[in-house]
RNA sequence: GCCCCAGUGGCGAAAUGGUAGACGCACGGCACUCAAAAUGCCGCGUCCGAGAGGACAUGCUGGUUCGAGUCCGGCCUGGGGCACCA
């Protein structure tokens, strides 16, 4: 029978319309069924979607469609993370307004997502740059402020002295501003902070309850919060050299046990003592300035060569009374602990690097187990493992934890100037969240500065503080600062002329509560608490691993802060988390060094070497490393080509097949054609057999051939169910291939049976229906077309998941591999419930086993039921 | 530098501590065709062997175990994050 090829383009448009017309994906709050909230991290509207988006949203859509078929009331919304720097960069480069640029991109990308056939409730869509959204965000800020969760303090930014503007870390390249090329300086600004550290302990302990999160993400967050129990120790300054009369310098240490291995004290360049000394010492001031030119990025500070400046100040060891030098060092962070450390080079690599550079003493005080105390020395590698304390007076012979206790006990009872020398302290690495950004395209912070009243919150009734549209990007800096009228406003408190805050919020704020707003996107308040509580937490959140720490931690904090201010009543926003791998691609550069898009490059093998040329001119192109797809390197692949050539289903199937979803994949479109062929094969199988199988229903007494078909179908059903539940899409797809292979070869080779055996016909129809239903989450359009070809009138999208018959999964006989000494030598087929003794007897009959035993009697025989037999000789 | 993760055929990969390589791509052979495409069937880790079969093999290295891709230690390579990219 001749069947037309499946025309994806035509069919996809038709079924998308059917779904829309039937409002299949519109979520009703009042639906009484159990809720399921599936959410993919919303995209930044950069212009067009790329393959990474297709991968992310295909996964989420499979979950949404699967859970819908399983009888859940599914919430699956979409929005836009629409504030951020690229819009301002585009404005500067192309003279287009950030707002226009952003909304145009959103329109384009919405169209692209819709062409993918995603089962989204578009009625709930919003962009974070919508005034309606950020108005509520300003309200949250004010509530947080009232609840004491907002702070205002000084912190450092990267300052470009030529462009006179603040730079993001990304915009600092090798210590210089990306546009001006000027050496970047650190500057202190008074900025707004959210007090995430108030929740440090809670954010840490609650990680244990997030059992549906990847272990690695919980670990990363745990390390990020960085709880440590240590000691603040004050070192007495020798003589009277301290600049402002300080008699002591306080350090924080988690290794008080190594106090006798001390060889120096190091201060952050931003430490008050460093600053005071620098004021009187030009050399030190120059050094501090050099430190400040490294920018604010921790990664840069930590990878820079360890450098220091000897202040001439000396401190006394609390036990030995010996004096040690005080350095200002570039690797000591002011934000952590007290901004000062004591250096024990033998047992800390950074301290060791520093000590070697400045020729300071290295005294080991922790002895590895079994080492000779007289012979143990430290070379260029610090010893950071456990051991026994030595070279340490009264601590000698103690364990590391014991020594920590002993030092704390000895020092906390002593005093300098009436204050204890040491206090025990729990310390967190986590810092408060600085949300101030000196930029236009973000949510304005709703604050007014009045000369008389100080910092005054904008009254709720005056919200929103909307961004002015009439701004220019002809020069660097924040256009809000130089706007002629916007910042001038009457003080809400006293009515006198005052100034608006011109800082806008970090875009991480926008993405820290959008999942809650989706539960009531039109509400006057930020949320409708009952609605948020009903839908949240998100049951399955899906997004890139690159957000494992910041976005997810901020969202967890925000949820707690929203609870504290009455906007919802839960702590954890995401019950299940799945972090997908990234899509990478080769990079290409032309002769001038400019990045070239893969679409413009032709790659071929010449004499066994891969060569790349420009499609247009044939000019040679340099093949660069494989990197995460990014606009700046142009190595993005636009999925439109695949969608237009093979259809959305093919694109969806393709990105889900083969690679495990959590793993990074290097993009190659070599398999796209294979995918399209497979989908045609499914269509051919269903459409050609539809007529033959008619409307036969399951027969109670199937023939062996019919039973085989039924077993294959139900096995596939069970496997797909289990693997979709576990988000192992690639494995689920492999099981579908297997079913198609079984049905396909039965149809091709067993055609006569359809007429002769009614139970076979019925089993085959059941197999086809199961096939169509289990491919539906991945290839929903094709599934609808097949469903209809089988004579069904409803939509697959509204059809419940098929019911599994577990009896069909059970085999009467099983074949076990037989090993001799761990090497496979034979197989043995036994009844499913055979006991160990009968299996052993059967195994000892096998020639191959006896041969492998070489006449020896087995020492023991291990029978793992349903699994394996191992004969140990 | 610090934290986290990954590494299996030509390629993407699969494998509750239990037969390593399911499934797919690519490739090769055959069938169908005047021919091509499409489709179908067969083969496809490496080495030895005519074959039966055997040896080796999951980045490297050591260990635990009757049995290790899987667990533990050390190393190598690649990727992500490091607080103003999102």
The interface pTM score, or ipTM, of the predicted complex is 0.95
Q: Give the per-residue pLDDT at A304.
A: 87
Task: Output the six-digit token pair for A743.
Answer: 């049905």
Q: Give the per-residue pLDDT at A594.
A: 72
Which has the higher per-residue pLDDT, A242 or A391? Answer: A391
Confidence of residue A2 (pLDDT cuts 50, 70, 90): very low
* Cβ partners under 8 Å of residue A76, min gap 6: A25, A27, A37, A38, A39, A60, A61, A64, A118, A119, A120, A121
Q: Strand B: which nucleotides have any atom within 7 A of a protein Cβ?
A: 1-6, 11-16, 18-20, 22-26, 38-41, 54-55, 66-68, 78-86
Judged against a pLDDT cut of 80, whether residue A592 lies above it is answered with no
Task: Output the six-digit token pair for A28.
Answer: 């009703």
Confidence of residue A595 (pLDDT cuts 50, 70, 90): confident
How far: A442 CA to B56 C1' (Å)? Answer: 62
Nearest protein residue by Cα to C1' of nucleotide B7: A663
How far: A738 CA to B64 C1' (Å)? Answer: 38
**In sequence order, what are the beta bridge partners of A233?**
A251, A422
Whole-Å CA distances, A446 to A180, A517, A527, A561: 32, 20, 19, 18
0.90 surpassed by pTM: yes
How far: A597 CA to B22 C1' (Å)? Answer: 37
d(CA A804, CA A258): 64
Q: Are strands A323-329 and A308-316 parallel, antiparallel or unpaired?
A: antiparallel
Judged against a pLDDT cut of 80, whether residue A757 lies above it is answered with yes
Of A490-504, A684-698, A738-752, the range with the highest mean pLDDT is A490-504
d(CA A662, CA A235): 50
d(CA A652, CA A644): 13
Q: Which nucleotide is nearest to A506 (CA to C1')?
A: B84
d(CA A604, CA A606): 6
Judged against a pLDDT cut of 60, whether residue A609 lies above it is answered with no
Instruction: Give the helix/strand (H/E) hosting A190.
Output: strand A185-194
Q: Give the per-residue pLDDT at A606.
A: 56
Q: Which nucleotide is nearest to A299 (CA to C1')?
A: B82
Judged against a pLDDT cut of 50, whether residue A472 lies above it is answered with yes
Q: Give the per-residue pLDDT at A632.
A: 67
Q: Which nucleotide is nearest to A551 (CA to C1')?
A: B86
Judged against a pLDDT cut of 60, whether residue A77 lies above it is answered with yes
Judged against a pLDDT cut of 70, whether residue A243 lies above it is answered with no
Nearest protein residue by Cα to C1' of nucleotide B2: A302
Confidence of residue A65 (pLDDT cuts 50, 70, 90): very high
Cβ neighbours of A84 (radius 10 Å): 23
Task: Output the six-digit token pair for A512.
Answer: 């820290």
Q: Which nucleotide is nearest to A434 (CA to C1')?
A: B83
Q: Give the per-residue pLDDT at A625.
A: 66
Average pLDDT over residues A97-107: 97
d(CA A661, CA A582): 9
């Amino acid at each position: 029978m001749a069947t037309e090829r499946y025309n994806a383009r035509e069919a996809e448009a038709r079924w998308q319309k059917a779904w829309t017309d039937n409002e299949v994906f519109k979520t009703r709050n009042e639906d009484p069924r159990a809720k399921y909230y599936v959410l993919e991290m919303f995209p930044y509207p950069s212009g067009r979607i790329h393959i990474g988006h297709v991968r992310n949203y295909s996964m989420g859509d499979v979950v949404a469609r699967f859970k819908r078929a399983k009888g859940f009331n599914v919430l699956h919304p979409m929005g836009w993370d629409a504030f951020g720097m690229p819009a301002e960069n585009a404005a500067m480069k192309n003279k287009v307004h950030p707002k226009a640029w952003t909304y145009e991109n959103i329109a384009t990308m919405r169209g692209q997502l819709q062409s993918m056939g995603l089962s989204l409730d578009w009625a709930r869509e919003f962009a974070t740059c919508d005034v309606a959204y950020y108005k509520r965000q300003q309200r949250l800020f004010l509530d947080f402020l009232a609840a004491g969760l907002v702070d205002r303090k000084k912190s450092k930014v990267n300052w470009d002295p030529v462009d006179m503007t603040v730079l993001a870390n990304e915009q600092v390249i090798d210590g210089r501003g990306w546009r001006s090329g000027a050496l970047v300086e650190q500057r202190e600004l008074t900025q707004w902070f959210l007090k995430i550290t108030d929740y440090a302990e809670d954010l840490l302990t609650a990680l244990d309850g997030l059992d549906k999160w990847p272990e690695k993400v919980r670990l990363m967050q745990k390390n990020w919060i960085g709880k440590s129990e240590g000691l603040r120790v004050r070192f007495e300054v020798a003589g009277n050299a301290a600049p402002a009369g300080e008699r002591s310098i306080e350090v924080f240490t988690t290794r008080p046990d190594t106090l006798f291995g001390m060889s120096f004290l190091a201060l952050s360049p931003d430490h008050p003592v460093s600053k005071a000394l620098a004021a009187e010492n030009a050399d030190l001031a120059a050094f501090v300035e050099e430190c400040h030119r490294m920018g604010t990025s921790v990664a840069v500070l930590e990878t820079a060569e360890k450098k220091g400046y000897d202040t001439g100040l000396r401190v006394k060891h609390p036990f030995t009374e010996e004096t040690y030098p005080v350095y200002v060092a570039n690797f000591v962070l002011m934000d952590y602990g007290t901004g000062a450390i004591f250096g024990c080079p033998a047992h800390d690599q950074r301290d060791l690097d520093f000590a070697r550079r400045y020729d300071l003493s290295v005294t080991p005080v922790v002895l590895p187990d079994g080492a000779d105390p007289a012979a143990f020395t430290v070379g260029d590698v610090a010893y950071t493992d456990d051991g026994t304390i030595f070279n340490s007076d009264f601590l000698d012979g103690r364990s590391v934890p014991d020594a920590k206790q002993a030092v704390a006990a000895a020092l906390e009872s002593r005093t300098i100037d009436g204050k204890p020398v040491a206090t025990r302290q729990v310390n967190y690495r986590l810092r408060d969240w600085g949300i101030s950004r000196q930029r236009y395209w973000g949510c304005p912070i709703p604050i007014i500065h009045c000369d008389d009243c100080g910092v005054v919150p904008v009254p709720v009734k005056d919200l929103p503080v909307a961004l002015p549209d009439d701004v220019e990007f002809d020069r660097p800096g924040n256009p809000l600062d130089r706007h002629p009228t916007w910042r001038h406003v009457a003080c809400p408190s006293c009515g006198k002329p005052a100034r608006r805050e011109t800082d806008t919020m970090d875009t991480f704020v926008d993405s820290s509560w959008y999942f809650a707003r989706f539960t009531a996107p039109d509400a006057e308040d930020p949320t409708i608490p009952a609605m948020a509580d009903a839908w949240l937490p998100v049951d399955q959140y899906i997004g890139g691993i690159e957000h494992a720490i910041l976005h997810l931690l901020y969202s967890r904090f925000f949820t707690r802060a929203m609870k504290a201010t009455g906007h919802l009543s839960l702590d954890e926003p995401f019950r299940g988390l799945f972090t997908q791998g990234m899509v990478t691609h080769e990079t290409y550069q032309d002769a001038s060094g400019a990045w070239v898009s893969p679409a413009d490059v032709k790659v071929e093998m010449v004499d066994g070497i891969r060569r790349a040329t420009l499609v247009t001119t044939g000019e040679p192109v340099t093949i660069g490393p494989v990197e995460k797809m990014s606009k700046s390197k142009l190595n993005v692949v636009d999925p439109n080509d695949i969608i237009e050539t093979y259809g959305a289903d093919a694109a969806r199937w393709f990105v889900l097949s083969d690679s495990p979803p959590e793993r990074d994949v290097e993009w190659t479109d070599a398999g796209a054609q294979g995918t399209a062929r497979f989908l045609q094969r499914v269509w051919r199988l269903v459409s050609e057999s539809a007529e033959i199988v008619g409307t036969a229903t399951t027969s109670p007494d199937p023939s062996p051939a019919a039973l085989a078909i039924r077993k294959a179908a139900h096995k596939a059903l069970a496997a797909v169910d289990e693997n979709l539940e576990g988000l192992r899409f690639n494995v689920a797809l492999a099981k579908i291939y297997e079913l198609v292979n079984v049905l396909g070869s039965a149809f091709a080779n067993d055609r006569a049976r359809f007429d002769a055996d009614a139970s076979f016909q019925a089993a085959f129809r059941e197999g086809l229906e199961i096939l169509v239903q289990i491919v539906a989450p991945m290839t929903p359009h094709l599934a609808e077309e097949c469903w209809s070809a089988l004579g069904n009138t409803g939509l697959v999208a509204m059809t419940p998941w098929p019911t599994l018959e577990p009896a069909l999964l059970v085999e009467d006989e099983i074949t076990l591999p037989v090993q001799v000494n761990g090497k496979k030598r034979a197989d043995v087929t036994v009844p499913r419930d055979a006991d160990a003794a009968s299996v052993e007897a059967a195994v000892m009959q096998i020639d191959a086993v006896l041969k492998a035993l070489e006449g020896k009697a087995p020492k023991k025989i291990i029978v793992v039921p349903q699994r394996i037999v191992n004969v140990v000789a």
